[in-house]
Amino acid sequence: MKNKVLIVFALIVTTILLIGCSSSGSNSSANSQIILQAQSIYSSMTESEKIGQLIMPSYLLLAQSPPASITACTNDLQTPNPSAALINQDCGLAQIGQYHLGAVLTGGGPYLNAPTVTNWAQLNAWATASHARNGGWPQNDPLLLTGCDATHLNMHVQGAVMGPQDIGLGATHDLQLVDQVEQLAAQDALTTGFNWIYMPTIAQVQDLRWGRTYEGFSSDPTLLKSLAAAYIEGLQIIQGGRITGVLATAKHFLGDGGTQYGLDEGNDNFTGTMAQFWTANGQGYEAAVRANVGSIMVSYSAINGDNSRMHFGGVGSWDIINTFKNQGITDTDGQNYQFLGFMVSDWNGSTRAAYFYDQANPTEPPLTLPQIYAKSINAGIDMLMVGQGDSTNPLDPSSPPNFSTVGEVVQAVTEAYATGLISETRLHDAVMRILEVKLSMNPKSAPLSNYSQLQAQERAVALQLAKESLILLKNNNATLPLTPSTIKNVVFIGDTDDLGVQNGGWTINWQGQEGSQYFTGVDQISSGAMTLESGIIAALGDNVNYYHVNPTENDMPLNLNAESTVAISIVAEIPYAEYMGDIGNPNEPDVWYNMGAANGDNLYESLPQNQFLGLQFDPTESSAIQNLRSNGVKIITVVYSGRPMVIGQNLDGNPLSPMSNSDAVIAAFLPGTTGGTAITDAIFGNYLFTSGADGQSNTLPFKWPRDMLDVTTHFALGNLFDVGYGLSD
C-alpha cells in the first residue's frame, strides 16, 4: 500500500505549485493564472526591482544605515503616532522603496526594545506603507513579506501566550491540536503585522548535544513527518488554493540535525549517495512538499567538509538544492520529491559559508561579496536573508563586517548580475518563484481589537498541549497523583518560580532569559503565564506552609512530617538558542568546540551544563533532600530542558542524582507560559498522563540517555528510556 500511495503522491508533487495539491481543474487554472500574472509582473520590472526581490534585510540592519539609527527608531516606537516621514528616516524604512525590497524580517534579537503587540504591528505597518509609497514601488510587487520566528507561538511579543517548544509538541503526538495551535500562531503573527513565520524546523536530530534539539519534533521519522505536515497546514491555512494564513518555512535544508557531535552549523560526515543522505535527513521535506510549504530555508551546515557548505550548494556533484527544485530528489524507495516554492538563505548564511570556504581554500584569494552571493544564488538560493551583526569570521564577532548596510548587499548582487556571475535565466527563476508564492498568498489578518479573544483561545490550546507534552518518567509506589487535602507543608527546591527557564530560548529575545520580567501585570494574565510554584500555591491555597531551598535560600525546618509534607523540585537547563546550547562530550573533548565558547561568550561558558548533557541537584538542595527522604517525605522532581538529559548519573547512591533521589520524575521539556498550570494539574490528578490524543500523548519523542555515552546515536549502549516511553497514572 505504501508504494501505491506514494506513487500517487509523486504524481501530485509534480502538479503542486503552492496553492493546493489538487488535480482539479480549478486549481490548475489558478496555477496557470498565477504563472501568467507573475510573468507579466516580471516583464514590467526594472533590473533593480528584480534584484530587490532577492534581498531581505532585518529591521535592525535597515535602522543602522545612516541617517537612520537604532536609538532614534526605538524612541519613535515608544512615542505616540510619530510621522511616517520620521519613521522612514529613523528606522531606515525608506530603503525598502529605494532598493525595491520585497521582504523584511525581525531576527532573533536584539529587538528595537519595543516588543509589545502594538509596537510590532506599528513597525510592520510602517514598513508596508513605505513599500507602497516610496519610489512608485510596488505597483507590481504584490506583497511585502514580513518575516519572524514564531517558534512557540508569537514569542516576540511581550504578553503573548507561548506554547510548548517543538520537542514538547512531539511528546503530545496530537496532530489536530498542533494544526490548531499553528492556525492561532498564524493569526497572532498577522495581528502583529507578520505574514511569514520561519517554522517548522524539521531537522532529523541525530545527536542530543545539538543546541537546537528542542526545535525538532522527534527522532521517529513517521511522527516527524506527520507533525511537520500538521504544523505547515496550520500556519498556511490554505483555502480556495490560497495561503490565507502566513507563509511557512521548512528548515534547515539539508542535514542541520546530522552534524558530527551535534555541533550547530557543523559538518555532516556522510559516506553514501544523495538518496541515502535524503533518507537520513529529508523525511520532513517529503511531508513539507506534500503540505505545499511555500518556502524552505537552507542550513548553515556542510556535507563532508567546508568545500561543501549548504549555502554554496553542498556536495558539488549532487547540486542538491537545484536538484530538489528542478528535477526533484529520488529517495531510496525510488520516490521523487520536488519543491516549487522559493529557497531562502539563513541569517547571513552566504557570508558565513564564505568564511569556512576561504579557510578550506587558503591558496585562493578570499571570495568577494559579489562572488559570495553569486555562489549562493547559483546553488539555488532565491532570497538572501541579511541581518545586522555580520562578521567576516563568524567565530569572532569583533572581526570586520562584510557589510554594514543593505545598500552594500544590493550593490554586490547588482555587480554579480552585471558581470554575468548571475545569469538572466537564474534571476528570472528566482524572482518568478518569489512572485508566484506572493501571488498565492491572501493573508487574512485579524484586527488588533480581536487580540484578547485570540489570546483566550491560545491560552486554552497551549495549556492542553502543555499537559499532553509532559512525560512521567518515574512514579514509585504511585506517588502521583497527590491528594491536596493531606498537604500542610510544601518545600520548593530549585528554580521553581522562573518563567524564562520554563520557556527556554526564542522567548521575547533570541537566547531567551532567566527570570519572569517579561511576564508581569497584564502580561502575566494575557500570556497565561504560571510558574510551577505559583500553580501549586494556587491549587493548595494559603493554609499551607511553603518553604524554599535553593543555592541562595534555605528556610526549610528539619524533620518535617512525612504524612503532611511534599517536596517539589526543579532541575533545569538555562535558556539558550542555536549554538549557545551545544554540549561538549568528555568522550570527544579534543574535537569539541562551540560557536559560543569560541567567541569566549561568558554566558555560554558559565552554563553549568556546558560540558555535560546532564542535570544534578545543587549540593544545598541535595542535603535538604537527604533530610526529607530520611523522614520519608516524597520528592517530586520536574525537569525543564530542551532535550532529554542525563539525570541518573551513576543511578544508585549519587546524592546529586535527580532520578535516584526522587519518588516521581516528570520531564516537562519547555512547556511555555502555561507550563506551571499544566504540571500542577498533572501532579494533583486533574490531568491524567496519556489521556491526550488517542492515548499516545505524554510519551517520549526522543530516547532518554542513561549517561553521556548514550547521548549520540553512535553510542547505543542502552538508553534509560526509549522513544515512546511514558508512564500513565
| Range 428-467, binding ligand GLC (CB under 6 A) | none
Q: Are 575 and 603 in contact (CB under 8 A)?
A: no
Helix count and strand count (H, E) for the chain: 26, 21
Report in angstroms how near the CB of residue 568 gets to ligand GLC at its nearest: 35
Identify which of residues 578 and 618 has a Cβ nearer to ligand GLC in the complex: 578
State the sign of the Cα–Cα–Cα–Cα dihedral 688, 693, 694, 699: negative
Q: Which is nearer to ligand GLC, 242 or 352 (CB)?
A: 352
Binding mask 576-595 for ligand GLC (x = CB under 6 A): --x-----------------
Select from 174, 179, 319, 346 the one that contacts ligand GLC (CB under 6 A): 346
**125 in Cβ contact with 638 (< 8 Å):** no
Closer residue to ligand GLC, CB minimum distance, 346 or 707:
346
Residue 698, sorted as left (phi over 0), alpha (psi -120 to 50) or beta, turns out to be left
Contact, 376 vs 350, CB < 8 A? yes
E strand intervals along 12-60: 55-57
Q: How far is the CB of 347 from ligand GLC (least distance, A)?
A: 4
CB of 99 to ligand GLC, least distance (A): 20
CB of 265 to ligand GLC, least distance (A): 8
**Residue whose C-alpha cell is 535592525:** 60
Contacts of 407 (CB under 8 A, 6+ apart): 65, 95, 99
In contact, 404 and 65? CB cutoff 8 Å: yes
Residue with cell 500556519: 235
Smallest distance, Å, CB 509 to ligand GLC? 12
H or E stretch including 229?
Answer: helix 221-236
Give the 3-state secondary structure of residue 235. Answer: helix
Q: Which is nearer to ligand GLC, 107 or 313 (CB)?
A: 107
Among 57, 97, 102, 108, contact with ligand GLC (rule: CB under 6 A): 108
> Please, are residues 509 and 109 in contact by the beta-carbon 8 Å criterion?
yes
CB of residue 391 vs ligand GLC: minimum separation in angstroms? 14
Q: Can residue 149 be called a binding residue for ligand GLC (CB under 6 A)?
A: yes
For CA atoms 234, 240, 246, 250, the dihedral sign is: positive
Which of 261, 347, 576, 604 lies at the binding interface for ligand GLC (CB under 6 A)? 347
- Residue 194 CB-half CA count within 13 A: 32
CB of 251 to ligand GLC, least distance (A): 6
* 20 touches ligand GLC by CB under 6 A: no
Q: Please say which residue, 76 or 578, places its beta carbon nearer to ligand GLC.
A: 578
Smallest distance from ligand GLC to CB 492, Å: 35
Q: Under the criterion CB under 6 A, does residue 107 sit at the interface with ligand GLC?
A: yes
Cβ-Cβ contacts under 8 Å for 231 (sequence gap 6 or more): 169, 178, 179, 182, 199, 200, 248
First to last CA, the chain: 37
Least distance to ligand GLC, CB of residue 261, Å? 18
Contact of 101 with 124, CB cutoff 8 Å: no
Closest distance of CB 413 from ligand GLC, Å: 19
* Residues in binding contact with ligand GLC, number by CB under 6 A: 8
CB of 7 to ligand GLC, least distance (A): 33
Q: What are the CA-CA distances from residue 127 to residues 58, 74, 108 (Å)?
A: 12, 14, 19
**Cβ proximity of 203 and 256 under 8 Å:** yes
- 473/583 with CB nearer ligand GLC: 583
The helix (H) or strand (E) run that includes residue 302 is strand 302-303
- Closest to ligand GLC by CB, 573 or 578: 578
User: Which residues in the 195-234 window bind ligand GLC by CB under 6 A?
Assistant: 198
Q: What are phi and psi of 147, to 5 degrees?
A: -105, 155
Residue 108 or 675: the one with the smaller Cβ distance to ligand GLC is: 108
Residue 55 vs 529, nearer CB to ligand GLC: 55
Kindly tell me which of 106 and 673 has the beta carbon lying closer to ligand GLC.
106
* Binding to ligand GLC, residues 181-200 (CB under 6 A): 198
Asked if 337 and 331 touch (Cβ cutoff 8 Å), the reply is: yes
Q: According to the binding rule CB under 6 A, does residue 156 interact with ligand GLC?
A: no
Residue type, 512: G
Concatenate the DSSP letters of all residues of 536-594 into one string: HHHHH-SSSEEEEEETTEE-PPSS--STTEEEEEEEEPPP--GGGG----TTSTTT---
In the set 50, 100, 242, 251, which binds ligand GLC (CB under 6 A)?
251
To the nearest whole angstrom, how small is the minimum distance from the Cβ of residue 396 to ligand GLC?
Answer: 17
253 binds ligand GLC per the rule CB under 6 A? no
Residue ranges binding ligand GLC (CB under 6 A): 107-108, 149, 198, 251, 346-347, 578
